């Protein structure tokens, strides 16, 4: 049997341990309660400015000449001369001789026509003199005889009419011979660039044979397709509006200025677009930025001027409203009067004022009056204002 000492000793140690633990527990202080800290959503903002804005309508097209002429032969013969400029890409002046048809037959025809004209003129003068003599003789007879009416044949009127007709026919023949001789010269009708040439030295041509094609360099045209809904942003449907044409020349971006001269007045059956036609004067005048025919260009047509407007990113607008930050760092929604959506931007002419701060960062559950916070921008660059001019 266990002795009394063996039973009491473990119980004493247990009681002592419990007492020590209770003492330490009494000495421990409870943790301090901390106040709950509310962290408001962090947002980014941009200031907006309201100002006049010029609307533009984007389009595209290919540069073409306003006038293009196909040169054809009007008389037959052999080509005996060709200008060195009469090659594809050559520049020619109005009236410049491009080619010459052998004129020998036409010179001979002109000499013959001139001879016939001289004969007809001589015969007409003789007949006029004879008619004058006949009229004088009749006046003498009339004074010494009873009143009678002379015949037209006696006064040589039919003979005079015949000689006059022959003279006029000879005049027409000489004019035709002169014209045919002139047509042996193939001339440029205007300042132009040669698009193509189909004849060579020694070629024999007949009336209707093609010599080549010339494109006038005085005016270039560009057909610009515009969606029907875009016409509302133009003044007078675009007529007389300024237009900027952008393309590359020698690897550099170049802009040419033109104007809209007409509306074709129909909708294209395939594209369902309305076509406006822009003109650019003397496209080849500048050597360092020629607007070459066949160039693909991007165009901006000048539209209406909005006196008070602002442009904001499209993704910031929900149901016609945009989130803004008030001076007390609370959120409020402002309704926009949207007049256009283009290129990922929304243009409004009412709803925002100068200095309004729009929230550009995403919020999970935005609500009117919710408290927000922004980063301390004291040591940062100022926020960039939104672009005021439509791109």
Average pLDDT, rounded, for the chain: 83
**Does any domain span residue 11?**
no
Examine the pLDDT at 161 and tell me if it is beyond 60. yes
Same domain, yes or no: 260 and 157: no
- 114 neighbors 170 (Cβ within 8 angstroms): no
Same domain, yes or no: 297 and 314: no
**Does any domain span residue 33?**
no
Which has the higher per-residue pLDDT, 391 or 170? 170
Examine the pLDDT at 172 and tell me if it is beyond 90. yes
Same domain, yes or no: 317 and 257: no
The token pair at 261 is 């001269």
The whole-number pLDDT of residue 362 equals 83
Average pLDDT over residues 240-249: 92
Which stretches within the chain are classed as H helix? 4-27, 104-143, 157-182
The whole-number pLDDT of residue 31 equals 60
Same domain, yes or no: 172 and 148: yes
Q: pLDDT per residue over 348-387, tens digit each?
A: 888 888 888 888 888 888 888 888 888 764 333 343 334 3
- At residue 47 the predicted structure's pLDDT band, cuts being 50, 70 and 90, is confident
Domain boundary among 151, 179, 214: 214
Examine the pLDDT at 340 and tell me if it is beyond 90. no
Same domain, yes or no: 74 and 210: yes
- At residue 329 the predicted structure's pLDDT band, cuts being 50, 70 and 90, is confident
Residue 178 sits in a domain whose CATH number is 2.40.50.100
Same domain, yes or no: 301 and 314: no
**Does any domain span residue 280?**
yes
Dihedral sign for Cα 84, 88, 92, 95, please: positive
Q: What is the extent of the structural domain holding 91? A: 70-214
HSE of 137, CA atoms in CB hemisphere, 13 A:
10
Domain boundary among 305, 332, 359: 305
Q: 224: helix, coil or strand?
A: strand
- 298 neighbors 247 (Cβ within 8 angstroms): yes
- Structurally, the chain folds into a number of domains equal to 3
Same domain, yes or no: 105 and 192: yes
Name beta bridge partners: 160: none
Examine the pLDDT at 168 and tell me if it is beyond 80. yes
The token pair at 242 is 């300024």
The whole-number pLDDT of residue 380 equals 38
Q: Crossing angle, helix 157-182 and helix 104-143, to 10 degrees?
A: 160
Q: pLDDT per residue over 70-85, tens digit each?
A: 999 999 999 999 999 9
Average pLDDT over residues 231-255: 90
Which has the higher per-residue pLDDT, 275 or 362? 275
For every residue of 26-39, DSSP letters joined together read HHPPPPPPPPPPP-
Residue 351 sits in a domain whose CATH number is 2.40.420.20
Average pLDDT over residues 57-69: 94
Q: Order the strands of the 210-216 sheet from edge to edge.
A: 68-72, 210-216, 192-197, 91-92
Helix (H) or strand (E) holding 242: strand 242-249
Examine the pLDDT at 39 and tell me if it is beyond 80. no
CA–CA distance, 155 with 213 (Å, rounded to integer): 59
Same domain, yes or no: 204 and 76: yes
The token pair at 20 is 């020590």
Average pLDDT over residues 76-101: 94
Domain boundary among 168, 188, 214: 214
């Amino acid at each position: 049997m266990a002795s009394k000492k063996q039973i009491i000793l473990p119980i004493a140690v247990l009681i002592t341990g419990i007492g020590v633990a209770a003492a330490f527990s009494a000495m421990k202080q409870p943790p301090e309660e901390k106040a709950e800290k509310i962290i408001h959503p962090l947002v980014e903002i941009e200031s907006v400015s309201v100002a006049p804005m010029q609307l533009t309508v984007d389009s595209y097209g290919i540069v073409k000449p306003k006038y293009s002429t196909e040169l054809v032969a009007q008389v037959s013969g052999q080509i005996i001369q060709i200008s060195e400029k009469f090659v594809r890409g050559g520049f020619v002046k109005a009236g410049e001789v491009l080619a010459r048809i052998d004129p020998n037959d036409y010179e001979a025809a002109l000499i013959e026509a001139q001879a016939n004209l001289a004969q007809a003129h001589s015969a007409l003068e003789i007949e006029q003199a004879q008619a004058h003599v006949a009229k004088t003789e009749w006046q003498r007879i009339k004074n010494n005889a009873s009143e009678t009416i002379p015949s037209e044949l006696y006064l040589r009127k039919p003979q005079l009419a015949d000689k006059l007709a022959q003279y006029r026919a000879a005049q027409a023949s000489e004019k035709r011979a002169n014209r045919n001789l002139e047509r042996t010269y193939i001339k440029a009708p205007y300042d132009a660039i040669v698009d193509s040439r189909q004849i060579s030295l020694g070629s024999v041509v007949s009336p209707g044979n093609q010599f080549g094609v010339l494109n006038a360099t005085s005016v270039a045209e560009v057909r610009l397709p515009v969606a029907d809904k875009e016409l509302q942003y133009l003044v007078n449907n675009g007529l007389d509006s300024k237009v900027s044409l952008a393309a590359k020349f020698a690897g550099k971006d170049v802009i040419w200025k033109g104007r809209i001269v007409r509306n074709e007045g129909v909708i294209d059956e395939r594209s369902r677009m309305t076509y406006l036609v822009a003109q650019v004067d003397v496209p080849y005048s500048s050597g360092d930025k020629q607007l070459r025919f066949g160039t693909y260009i991007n165009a901006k047509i000048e539209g209406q001027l909005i006196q008070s407007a602002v442009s904001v990113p499209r993704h910031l607008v929900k149901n016609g409203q945009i989130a803004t930050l008030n001076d007390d760092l609370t959120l409020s929604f402002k309704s926009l009067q949207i007049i256009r959506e283009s290129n990922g931007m929304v243009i409004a002419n009412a709803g925002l004022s100068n200095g309004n701060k729009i929230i550009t960062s995403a919020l999970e559950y935005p609500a009117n009056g919710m408290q927000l916070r922004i980063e301390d921008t004291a040591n940062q660059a100022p926020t960039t204002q939104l672009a005021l001019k439509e791109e």
